[in-house]
Amino acid sequence: MKLIRADWDVSPRIHAFTTTRYDGVSEGVYAGFNLGLHVGDDPAAVLENRKILQQVTGLTQPIRWLEQVHGINLVKASGPECQADAVWSNQPGEACAIMTADCLPVLFCDRAATRVAAAHAGWRGLAAGVLENTLSIFDDPKQVVAWLGPAIGPMAFEVGDEVYQCFCEQHPQAKRAFAISPTDHQKWLADIYELARIRLHAAGVKYVYGGHFCTFTDHENFYSYRRDGETGRMASLIWIEG
């Protein structure tokens, strides 16, 4: 099983990574380590992949999977099932998990290793404030470290003018995260990593790592909804060592 581990400077008590599509028992368009039950894959295969993930992590508490809706709702990892796009915990051995296949996974922890969180940031959730809402559970954003996991890269994420206007109206510096598409001059190429950095820095987060992948172009390692349409999901997880 191949994992992309967070390359950040934090306490060794913090465990954080994103899965890839390597190994696993899913087949066809979901081939590999699909963890999404909602995408049309054989449920038995997904549950077996989740069982493998649980074993590999060594977590004794079951991983809680969110029903993600591209919103900003933040929930406690130990809470009841509900629709949410961000989750947090202050309990050792309790994992925060979100699923993606082009959208940006953002993992958070504080320097003292007392709280962790994970957010699912597609462009809609990002613009609506999912990162800022997730940061609300930390006492001081200056003591928070964030890691940007694998997402669609800046040369592949083509968007319309409404996306450009939305971000630039909120943060004028967001203009630097857009470039005119070379294939359609009526559209933009968006750097979702840079958009996230701008918002995190504006919220007071000084330490932001990651942002070096492209799920769209790296078929070998990652699922990509924009590339394939019908496809699987990776998971990004973070927890405090129990």
CATH number of 13-24+31-240: 3.60.140.10
State in Å, rounded, how far the first CA of the chain is from the last one: 22
pLDDT in tens, 54-93: 999 999 999 999 999 999 999 999 977 789 999 999 999 9
* Segments making up each domain of the chain, as ranges: 13-24+31-240
| Average pLDDT of adjacent 10-residue blocks, the chain of 242 residues | 95 98 97 97 98 95 94 92 93 97 98 98 98 98 98 98 97 97 95 98 98 97 97 98 88
Q: Which residues contact 158 (CB under 8 A, 6 or more apart)?
A: 181, 183, 184, 187, 188, 189, 190
- State the pLDDT at residue 28: 97
Contact between residue 64 and residue 54 where contact means Cβ atoms under 8 Å apart: no
Of 62, 105, 113, the C-alpha closest to 85 is: 105
